Amino acid sequence: MFTRITLLKTISSLLLIACILLGSFAQTSYAQEDLMEFAEKTGFPVKEAYRPKASIVIDADSGQILWEDQPDLAWSPASIAKVMTMYLAFEAMEQGKFDLDTTITATEKDVKVSQIYALSNNKIALGVDYPIRDIFSMVAVPSSNVATLMLANLVSDNDGASFIRKMNDKAAELGMNNTTYFNCSGAQIGSFEGLYQAEGIDPNGENKSTARDLAILTYNLLKKYPDVLQFTSKPVVKTMENTPYEETFETYNYSLPGAKYGYDGVDGLKTGSSPLGGFNYIATAKKGDLRLIEVILGVGSWSDQEGEYERHLAGNAILDHAFSTYEYKKLLSKGSNKIEQKEINLEQDLYGFVNKNSEPSFTLADGQLSLKSDLGQVSPNIPAKSVSYQDSETQTGNNNSDKTNAQKTSQSAETPKKEHNYLISSLLAGLGLLFLICSRLFRKRIAGVKRGSHTIATPTTRLFFTLGALSILSAVGAFLFL
């Protein structure tokens, strides 16, 4: 009898493991809905030619990933590199080196840089004092290369190479493990016609980063220097107001409310485009108490300037999908809770983002309870939100002893029931496995621009997947509880 039970239990366990592995694989493919499908539902239709090469959405408070697609693809961020320059300028202000009212006097070299036609710029007049607050607006909105260079020179005392080393050191410090900077603005040093000096730095080097790394940068920027949003939240800005040097700029971030593809809640942050990088942007968006960070990379190509607009349709669709799929709520209340068959006492309420169509699960480790999310954290340097807990008091030793004796007495009586349960579990698990295999076989294959082709779910595959999932859940119930 012992041998039969052991055999049935082994078979049941192996089938359950197989189902769970296949089920999780199918669920990953199914849960990450295809952009082209849900974009239509959100009202921001995306053409296949403008599908982003990489994208990510994270919770700006916790760093939890809510959406990702090739987040670690190395890409040229173009003018998004200016975000790191702004970060280092804010850090220098925090250290007391200057403030928003500090001025930079324009030099002859600055004037010449501003006149380079191939670079995005604004007008700079010789000898004029430009306040840092206006310089920030020039960097953030028209993506002025001369303003970026003036800001970097102020931070580094006109040492271009030193500033680039600061950029790379800060990237390493923040955990941006796949980012390398060769210039401060996104335009190669060689594009500045000899006016941008950085000894020891490849003048033709191309900045590289990833959607994940840029999300990490933006997460830290908003945490430490949220005032950056005052320079990125308006569709139209004026610099040097009430002076002969006043200029008006319209944003390239067309997702800002009031712009061409305005999305409610967007209030930043930076766009970037180049022949190598196509069209990219970082968006920050807030609804109620919730703030999300989105990074979109590689929309379209430089030869088709429509990508400048289409990136915002894709970005809006993904952002709307994240807002509508997830909700932020109280997950557990302070006090007694039962987690993983363990009685614990939480020291405070736990809040977090969860998929509206699923129940949250949790991790217990080292006296901390945290939400277990499907996609995890954007960086290991940003731990998941957690609350402290304590184990509830256990029963006395005598009670434990009595319980053990009672269990031993009833063990022989439960043996036939266990054998029956394992048999039922095996049959249900096998049936679930069959349904999941069918859900994979009947998926529809379509052409794609990123990986040649990919498959999407159909009503038939969804039915098979649902039946498979229900069978697996029933198998687990039979295995554990019947």
Q: Which residues are annotated as a binding site?
A: 270
Active-site position among 143, 156, 209, 471: 143
How far is it, in rounded angstroms, from Cα 205 to Cα 201?
8
For the annotated binding site for substrate, the residues are 270
The answer to whether the CB of 354 falls within 8 A of the CB of 329 is: yes
- Residue located via tokens 């499908």: 37
Taking alpha carbons only, the member of 228, 375, 369, 318 closest to residue 37 is 318
**The Cα angle at residue 235 between residues 233 and 241, in degrees rounded to 5:** 90
Angle at 280 between CA 274 and CA 283, to 5 degrees: 145
CA distance 157 to 133: 19
Catalytic residue among 53, 76, 82, 208: 82
Catalytic choice (12, 76, 79, 274): 79
Torsion of CA 23, 27, 28, 30, to 10 degrees: 140
Q: Is position 426 annotated as part of the catalytic site?
A: no
> Which amino acid is located at 168 in the chain?
N
286 is catalytic: no
| CB-neighbour burial class of residue 464 (10 A; exposed 0-12, middle 13-18, buried 19+) | buried
Token pair 């008091």 is found at 393
Distance CA 140, CA 324 (A): 29
Does the annotation count 274 as an active-site position? no
List active site positions: 79, 82, 143
